[in-house]
């Protein structure tokens, strides 16, 4: 039995396991082991862990991810990226957060819509729903983003703007539509020009951009959300892996990026470096914008302790994605944690991404 165990371990080492028994244990080994275990058990097809703590950097890839620069569909981690593109226009004085949405989208009127501001869109307090009632039908029709936006502008609000919190992908869509109206540029081009290029994010695209389907990691669809085709065997033409969805570049979930690129994005806000938005704008975006009693949200970002893993400070900001992604940055410890996986967030409790991120936070706490 001992000989069989040794041979099995040796074979794993020969196959290039990211964490072989021969490697010394480090601060992030426990976090990496969570993802290695999940991929070796075939629970997760692909994953990448990337951690930056002050001047220290750690990257490991697992399963079918070819390298640490493997590109994943980010899901809702796309939201703060697209909002940042919009906020570059804020820095140019092209709009104010308290501007009414109807100023830029005149069709957004009636039934209380006139009271919705840009700030409401960015903080999930507009009253708009997360997904459209006809979401699946529109995706089946391979609708353009303009079609989704038109439908969103005619959707009834669930409550008076600013009175409640309700996570809203459609709010982010309309914010991106405003960015297009102001800039005269489509949102994929604007994100590339104002975010990816200045930050040197060479393994990122809003939609597919210059990349091909084979350049990006495929999502596992078992356990995916219904609005992503989960549970529908006929959704192959419009689910997360379809050419249609990958190319669409939905501002609420259609960004592709590598883990180091996501970390570079968070680093813009961790240090308020001013490469993309002004330092004061960066601080504004990662600070709570919602009134007391409502869920804390920045501009596009989740903020506060809940935005990170247990042990993170109140200054933490980040986001998660239904495709199985997670990222946070904690200014108190100068830590950035990015976990990208192919396993839908709904498919496992606890999810391997959450286990890995928690172990990162625990390692930081130990010092």
Which tens digit of pLDDT belongs to each residue from 95-140?
A: 999 999 999 999 999 999 999 999 999 999 999 999 999 999 999 9
What is this structure's pTM? 0.93
Answer whether residue 16 shows pLDDT above 80.
Answer: no
Q: What pLDDT does residue 129 have?
A: 98
The mean per-residue pLDDT over the stretch 36-60 comes to 97
Answer whether residue 22 shows pLDDT above 50.
Answer: no
CATH of domain 72-366: 3.40.710.10
Give 349: exposed, middle or buried? Use CB within 10 Å, 0-12, 13-18, 19+: exposed
Helix residue ranges, H only, 78-204:
78-91, 118-123, 135-140, 145-153, 169-183, 187-191
Q: What pLDDT does residue 224 have?
A: 86
Q: How confident is the prediction for the chain on average, in pLDDT?
A: 93
Question: Could you tell me what percent of the chain has a pLDDT over 70?
Answer: 93
DSSP string, 254-308: -EEE-HHHHHHHHHHHHTT--SSS-HHHHHHHTS--SPTTS--B-SSSEESGGGS
Angle between helices 352-366 and 29-40 (to 10 degrees): 160
pLDDT, one tens digit per residue, over 24-44 is 579 999 999 999 999 999 999
Element (H, E) at 10: helix 2-14
Q: What pLDDT does residue 24 have?
A: 58
Question: Could you tell me what percent of the chain has a pLDDT over 90?
Answer: 88
Q: What pLDDT does residue 342 have?
A: 98
Closest CA to 34 of 16, 19, 24, 52: 19
Domain ranges of the chain: 72-366
The mean per-residue pLDDT over the stretch 41-62 comes to 97
The mean per-residue pLDDT over the stretch 262-275 comes to 95
Q: What pLDDT does residue 223 have?
A: 86
Model confidence at 166, in pLDDT bands (50, 70, 90)? very high
Answer whether residue 146 shows pLDDT above 80.
Answer: yes
Answer whether residue 324 shows pLDDT above 50.
Answer: yes
Answer whether residue 169 shows pLDDT above 60.
Answer: yes
Q: What pLDDT does residue 232 have?
A: 83
Closest CA to 86 of 200, 251, 258: 251
């Amino acid at each position: 039995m001992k000989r069989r165990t040794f041979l099995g371990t040796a074979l794993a080492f020969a196959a290039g396991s990211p964490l072989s028994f021969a490697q010394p244990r480090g601060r992030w080994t426990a976090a990496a082991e969570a993802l290695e275990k999940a991929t070796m058990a075939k629970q997760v097809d692909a994953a990448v862990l990337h951690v930056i703590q002050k001047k220290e950097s750690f990257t490991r890839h697992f399963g079918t991810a070819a390298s640490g620069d493997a590109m994943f569909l980010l899901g809702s981690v796309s939201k703060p990226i697209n909002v940042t593109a919009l906020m570059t226009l804020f820095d140019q004085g092209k709009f104010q957060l308290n501007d009414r949405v109807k100023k830029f989208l005149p069709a957004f009127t009636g039934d209380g819509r006139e009271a919705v501001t840009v700030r409401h869109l960015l903080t999930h307090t507009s009253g708009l729903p997360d997904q459209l009632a006809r979401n699946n039908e529109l995706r089946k029709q391979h609708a353009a983003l303009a079609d989704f936006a038109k439908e969103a502008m005619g959707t009834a609000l669930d409550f008076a703007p600013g009175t409640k919190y309700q996570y809203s992908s459609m709010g982010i869509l309309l914010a991106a539509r405003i960015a297009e109206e102001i800039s005269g540029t489509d949102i994929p081009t604007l994100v590339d020009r104002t975010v990816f290029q200045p930050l040197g994010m060479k393994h990122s695209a809003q939609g597919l951009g210059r990349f091909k389907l084979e350049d990006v990691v495929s999502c596992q669809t078992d356990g995916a959300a219904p609005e992503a085709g989960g549970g529908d065997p006929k959704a192959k033409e419009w689910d997360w892996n379809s050419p249609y969805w990958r190319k669409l570049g939905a501002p609420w979930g259609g960004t592709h990026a590598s883990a180091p690129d996501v970390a570079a994005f968070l680093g813009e806000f961790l240090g308020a470096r001013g490469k993309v938005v002004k330092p004061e704008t960066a601080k504004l975006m990662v600070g709570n914008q919602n009134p007391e009693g409502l869920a804390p949200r920045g501009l596009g970002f989740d903020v506060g302790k809940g935005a990170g893993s247990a042990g993170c400070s109140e200054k933490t900001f980040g986001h998660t994605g239904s495709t199985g992604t997670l990222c946070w940055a904690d200014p108190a410890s100068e830590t950035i944690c990015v976990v990208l996986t192919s396993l839908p967030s709904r498919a496992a409790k606890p999810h391997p991404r959450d286990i890995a991120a928690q172990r990162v936070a625990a390692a930081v706490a130990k010092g």
